[in-house]
């Protein structure tokens, strides 16, 4: 158990109680307290209640939920840092049937993205702030902390499923990368299933290589082969499907094609390709903007003419009949954004669609 005692010490340094990942005193205070009440039964000494629960992780058999409240890798309309708190609260309402172990939120310094973009003086100063120890060797940026957390998680618990809530889509870079490395070490062939309006296949954006628009590019070489990345719901792109498939080797199903051929025909074709490559397990990364803006307006880059939730649910559940889903994330839900001109209940609709899909993913992870 030496590894677990190291890891549990790290969890207490890297993470904080669920819903507390956005560093704030008063904003959304009532919502946080209500989440803590449903998780721990009271709201006094949440740190202690959470830490005691974390110590039970090795004995628990449910899928694990991690919040990554970072929107530093976004940049058009921010606000996905609030996704983990709001999505959890919606999922805990009576409308959803979910059962998971909540390990907490990454402690996010909102001005930092990845440690490789920082100088030593900044890292030392942030180690002082996060760990009260400038001599610490631990990472300080959201993506760097997430990657080390996931590496330790899969090392300690190779059979547990991890479901992460973002955050902007850059958080999937450490999540998927660590997952794919772990599967490779376990000699299991795993593929990426990616729902999104956008390809996220930039090489860099304004000189930054890891961000919401480029994370897929930088995990392709961790797949068994590049064509084991499947993208669904693409429709907002300066280049056509052929460009992306030829340049990067990925498979794309744009929304118009899914509508024309039907989601069932598309997923049947995907299953054949996955089986032909000997794939056993899947990582599902779900950007809420894969859904039509009517269902998902509370997000940084809402797009019209998208998938409806039923199409996404069908694709995931059909895939899950043939393959184990062992890792997943739900990202880019920004509950404070109202992007529809006519106002309306953007937040509730987006959270409902996100919860419905997360519920299915959590069930799949529990199998
Ligand atoms: Mn995305």
Which candidate, 364, 300, 366, 287, places its Cα nearest to that of 338? 300
SS3 45: coil
Burial of 76 (0-12, 13-18, 19+ CB in 10 A): exposed
Q: How far is the CA of 2 from the centre of ligand 1 (A)?
A: 38
> Are residues 348 and 291 in contact, defined by beta-carbon separation less than 8 angstroms?
no
* pLDDT for the residue 42: 78
Largest CA distance in the chain: 58
Q: How far is the CA of 301 from the centre of ligand 1 (A)?
A: 9
Domain 2-366 CATH (choose: 3.30.300.30, 3.40.190.10, 1.10.3720.10, 3.40.800.10): 3.40.800.10
d(Cα 60, Cα 32) in Å, to the nearest integer? 24
Which candidate, 355, 236, 239, places its Cα nearest to that of 307? 236
Q: How far is the CA of 308 from the centre of ligand 1 (A)?
A: 17
d(Cα 195, Cα 282) in Å, to the nearest integer? 13
SS3 per-residue string spanning 243-292: HHHHHHCCEEEEHHHHHHHCHHHHHHHHHHHHHHCCCCEEEEEEEHHHEC
Q: How far is the CA of 169 from the centre of ligand 1 (A)?
A: 5
**Does residue 1 register a pLDDT over 60?**
no
**Does residue 146 register a pLDDT over 60?**
yes
Q: How far is the CA of 58 from the centre of ligand 1 (A)?
A: 32
Q: How far is the CA of 288 from the centre of ligand 1 (A)?
A: 8
Q: How confident is the model at residue 28 (pLDDT cuts 50, 70, 90)?
A: confident
Q: How far is the CA of 216 from the centre of ligand 1 (A)?
A: 9
For the chain, which residues make up each domain, given as ranges? 2-366
SS3 199: coil
Q: How confident is the model at residue 105 (pLDDT cuts 50, 70, 90)?
A: very high
Q: How far is the CA of 242 from the centre of ligand 1 (A)?
A: 19
> Are residues 238 and 224 in contact, defined by beta-carbon separation less than 8 angstroms?
no
> Are residues 159 and 190 in contact, defined by beta-carbon separation less than 8 angstroms?
no
Q: How far is the CA of 234 from the centre of ligand 1 (A)?
A: 10
pLDDT in tens, 72-92: 999 899 999 999 999 999 999
Q: How far is the CA of 8 from the centre of ligand 1 (A)?
A: 31
ω into 96 cis (within 30 of 0) = no
Q: What is the mean pLDDT of the chain?
A: 96
Q: How far is the CA of 229 from the centre of ligand 1 (A)?
A: 14
Q: How far is the CA of 141 from the centre of ligand 1 (A)?
A: 20
d(Cα 221, Cα 219) in Å, to the nearest integer? 6
Alpha helix locations (H) across 67-188? 83-91, 120-131, 142-156, 172-185
Q: How far is the CA of 343 from the centre of ligand 1 (A)?
A: 24
Bridge partners, 20 (sequence order): none
Q: How far is CA 115 from the centre of its chain?
A: 19
Q: How far is the CA of 214 from the centre of ligand 1 (A)?
A: 9
Q: How far is the CA of 137 from the centre of ligand 1 (A)?
A: 31
Q: How far is the CA of 239 from the centre of ligand 1 (A)?
A: 16
Q: How far is the CA of 328 from the centre of ligand 1 (A)?
A: 14
pLDDT in tens, 219-274: 999 999 999 999 999 999 999 999 999 999 999 999 999 999 999 999 999 999 99
Q: How far is the CA of 290 from the centre of ligand 1 (A)?
A: 8
DSSP assignment, residue 112?
Answer: -
Q: How far is the CA of 287 from the centre of ligand 1 (A)?
A: 5
* pLDDT for the residue 2: 63
Q: How far is the CA of 163 from the centre of ligand 1 (A)?
A: 17
């Amino acid at each position: 158990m030496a590894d677990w005692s190291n890891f549990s010490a790290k969890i207490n340094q890297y993470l904080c109680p669920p819903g507390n990942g956005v560093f704030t005193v008063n904003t959304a205070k009532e919502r946080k307290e209500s989440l803590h009440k449903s998780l721990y039964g009271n709201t006094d000494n949440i740190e202690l209640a959470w830490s005691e629960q974390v110590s039970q992780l090795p004995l628990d058999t449910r899928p694990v939920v991690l919040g990554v409240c970072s929107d530093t890798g976004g940049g058009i309309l921010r606000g996905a840092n609030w996704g983990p708190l709001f999505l959890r609260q919606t999922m805990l309402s009576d409308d959803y049937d979910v059962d998971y172990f909540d390990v907490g939120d990454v402690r996010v310094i909102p001005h930092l993205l990845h440690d490789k973009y920082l100088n030593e003086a900044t890292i030392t100063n942030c180690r002082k702030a996060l760990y009260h120890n400038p001599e610490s060797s631990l990472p300080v940026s959201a993506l760097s902390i997430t990657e080390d957390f996931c590496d330790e998680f899969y090392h300690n618990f190779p059979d547990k499923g991890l479901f992460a809530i973002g955050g902007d889509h850059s958080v999937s870079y450490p999540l998927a990368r660590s997952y794919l490395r772990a599967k490779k070490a376990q000699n299991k062939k795993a593929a990426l299933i990616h729902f999104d309006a956008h390809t996220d296949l930039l090489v860099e954006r304004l000189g930054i290589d890891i961000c919401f628009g480029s994370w897929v590019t930088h995990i392709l070489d961790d797949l068994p082969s590049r064509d084991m990345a499947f993208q669904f719901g693409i429709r907002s792109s300066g280049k056509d499907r052929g460009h992306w498939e030829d340049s990067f080797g990925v498979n794309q199903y744009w929304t118009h094609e899914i509508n024309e051929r039907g989601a069932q025909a598309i997923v049947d074709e995907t299953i054949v390709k996955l089986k032909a490559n000997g794939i056993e397990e899947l990582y599902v990364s779900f950007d809420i903007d894969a859904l039509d803006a009517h269902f998902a307006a509370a997000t940084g880059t809402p797009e019209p003419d998208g998938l409806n939730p039923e199409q996404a649910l069908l694709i995931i559940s059909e895939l899950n009949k043939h393959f184990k889903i062992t890792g997943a994330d739900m990202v880019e839900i920004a509950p404070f954004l109202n992007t529809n001109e006519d106002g309306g209940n953007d937040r509730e609709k987006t959270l409902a669609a996100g919860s419905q899909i997360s519920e299915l993913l959590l069930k799949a992870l529990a199998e």
